[in-house]
Amino acid sequence: MAKAQQRLSQVQSHLASSEADIPRGRESILRKSPDDIVVTCALRTPLTRGGKGGFKDTAAADLLAHTFKSLISRSKIDPNLVEDISVGNVLSPGAGATEYRAAALVAGFPETTAVKTLNRQCSSGLQACVDIVHAIRCGMIDIGVGAGVESMSTQYGPGAVSEFSELLDSHPEAKNCKVPMGVLSEQMASDRSITRERQDAFAARSFQRAEAAQKAGKFNEEIVPMKVKWVDPKTEEEKEILVDKDDGVRAGMTVEGLGKIKPAFKKDGSIHAGNASQVSDGAAAVLLMKRSTAERLGQSILGKFVCSSVVGVKPLLMGIGPWKAIPVALEKAGISKEEVDVWEINEAFASQCVWCVKELGLDEAKVNPNGGAIAFGHPLGCTGARQVSTLLNELGRTGQKVGVTSMCVGTGMGMAAVWVKE
């Protein structure tokens, strides 16, 4: 009889594997179910400045291997039970498929643990987590890891975008996919009257919040320090250093200070190095499984995944992605924006973030309460996975429950996800 009941539960779970079948409404998503997809560990490396910071001489695969090792150590999961790993990456050739499989082996996962990599631009880390969620929901696997990594120090530059064929260049909308994001963001800021003053005020607040959070140790729980070899650019001496905090956070940043920085993309423009996301290096990972599996294994539950959304927008309006994706995710969860306690929205550019927050009518006090990518960096493939640990830790510290992660996506997309803290 017990086996029959278990089989019936499995069948019901598979039939309800679509996000359309998720319980709706705040009370519903707060309720616990054996079939909830839960997070039992979420962590990241520090984020460091591209070409200058602590990880400038460290390969992306090494960052990922350290993150995987830390995930196994902190969660105490038997690595033999992890069936699949999905890694988001943007800049590595082939999204790093070969070296990231090798990184998993180095970290202690057995050859039986499969690894795949994917590239959905800036949402790659979130997409990696969502892919694992769906694999668990449909019964393909029981336990998996969603992760993201980027070494912008070693792989960022003109070579990151391939040349378009004559066919692609002949299509006006397709051709817009290769317009540099800084250029199109500058145009969007101009078209939608997002002044430099508003952008700099948003950026200054991001730096100030991140500085306060770092001083208060709010990132310590999510960060796993890492010893690396680092070459001193002045003496060319190689030394071993311990990287234990985000090194892009600038103390004492003000609107006045930001106002002195020259525009980056247009002589009389409004976007500059101080109000756009930093070029950075880093890795993050999230351990996912059903609640019933976590309870059986004695895994601590940090929170649960509720639902996600992905949308397309015009390539030249890439920055509005969160504005379109967030309402879709909220609709799937059956909640209103007022029922969300914390928003983690990637700060690709202050211009697009300012516009999205205003148009969505969000409470600015709830948006990136500990700063964002302008202050501590945006390692492209890593950010979507990094946001999960940042969000769940903030919800836990403040005794709140419901959070949303979101980002704009290069070539004109947006993605969002709803999470609940245990």
**Are 385 and 285 in contact, with CB atoms under 8 Å apart?**
yes
% pLDDT > 70, the chain: 95
Which pTM does this prediction carry?
A: 0.94
- pLDDT of 405: 99
Among this protein's residues, is 408 annotated catalytic?
yes
- pLDDT of 6: 55
DSSP notation for 291-304: HHHHHHHT----EE
- Tokens representing 245 are 């905090």
Q: How confident is the model at residue 411 (pLDDT cuts 50, 70, 90)?
A: very high
Q: How confident is the model at residue 51 (pLDDT cuts 50, 70, 90)?
A: very high
Q: What is the per-residue burial (b if ≥16 Cβ within 10 Å, else e) of 132-171? A: bbbbbbeeebbbbbbbbbbbbbbbbeeeeeeeeeeeeeee
Q: What is the CA radius of gyration of the chain?
A: 21
| Side chain identity at residue 124, one-letter code | S
Q: Which one-letter DSSP state was computed for residue 343?
A: E
- pLDDT of 17: 55
Higher pLDDT: 51 or 4? It is 51
pLDDT digits (tens, 9 = 90+) for 60-111: 999 999 999 999 999 999 999 999 999 999 999 999 999 999 999 999 999 9
pLDDT digits (tens, 9 = 90+) for 362-395: 999 999 999 999 999 999 999 999 999 999 999 9
Q: State the average pLDDT over residues 305-333.
A: 97
Q: How confident is the model at residue 12 (pLDDT cuts 50, 70, 90)?
A: low
| Side chain identity at residue 65, one-letter code | A
- pLDDT of 13: 54
Q: Which secondary-structure segment (H or E) carries 114? A: strand 114-118
- Catalytic option among 122, 129, 356, 382: 122
**Are 78 and 138 in contact, with CB atoms under 8 Å apart?**
no
**Are 37 and 290 in contact, with CB atoms under 8 Å apart?**
yes
3-state secondary structure (DSSP) of residue 172: helix
- Tokens representing 95 are 């999204």
| CA atoms of 370 and 366, how far apart (whole Å) | 10
Give phi and psi for 98, each to the nearest 5. -75, -50
- Catalytic option among 272, 307, 378, 382: 378
Q: Which one-letter DSSP state was computed for residue 90?
A: S
Choose among 121, 143, 122: nearest CA to 132.
Answer: 143
> Residue 14: pLDDT above 70?
no
- Catalytic option among 41, 307, 353, 408: 408
**Are 388 and 405 in contact, with CB atoms under 8 Å apart?**
yes
- pLDDT of 390: 98
| CA atoms of 239 and 249, how far apart (whole Å) | 23
Q: What is the per-residue burial (b if ≥16 Cβ within 10 Å, else e) of 193-227? A: ebebebbbbbbbbbbbbbbebbeeebbeebbbebe
Q: How confident is the model at residue 121 (pLDDT cuts 50, 70, 90)?
A: very high
| CA atoms of 383 and 152, how far apart (whole Å) | 13
| CA atoms of 63 and 242, how far apart (whole Å) | 13
Among this protein's residues, is 378 annotated catalytic?
yes
Among this protein's residues, is 41 annotated catalytic?
no
Helix, strand, coil shares of the chain, percent, nearest 5, are 45, 20, 35
| CA atoms of 37 and 388, how far apart (whole Å) | 14
**212 Cβ contact partners less than 8 Å away, ≥ 6 residues apart:** 370
Q: Which one-letter DSSP state was computed for residue 367?
A: B
pLDDT digits (tens, 9 = 90+) for 200-216: 999 999 999 999 999 99
- pLDDT of 68: 99
pLDDT digits (tens, 9 = 90+) for 148-174: 999 999 999 877 777 899 999 999 999
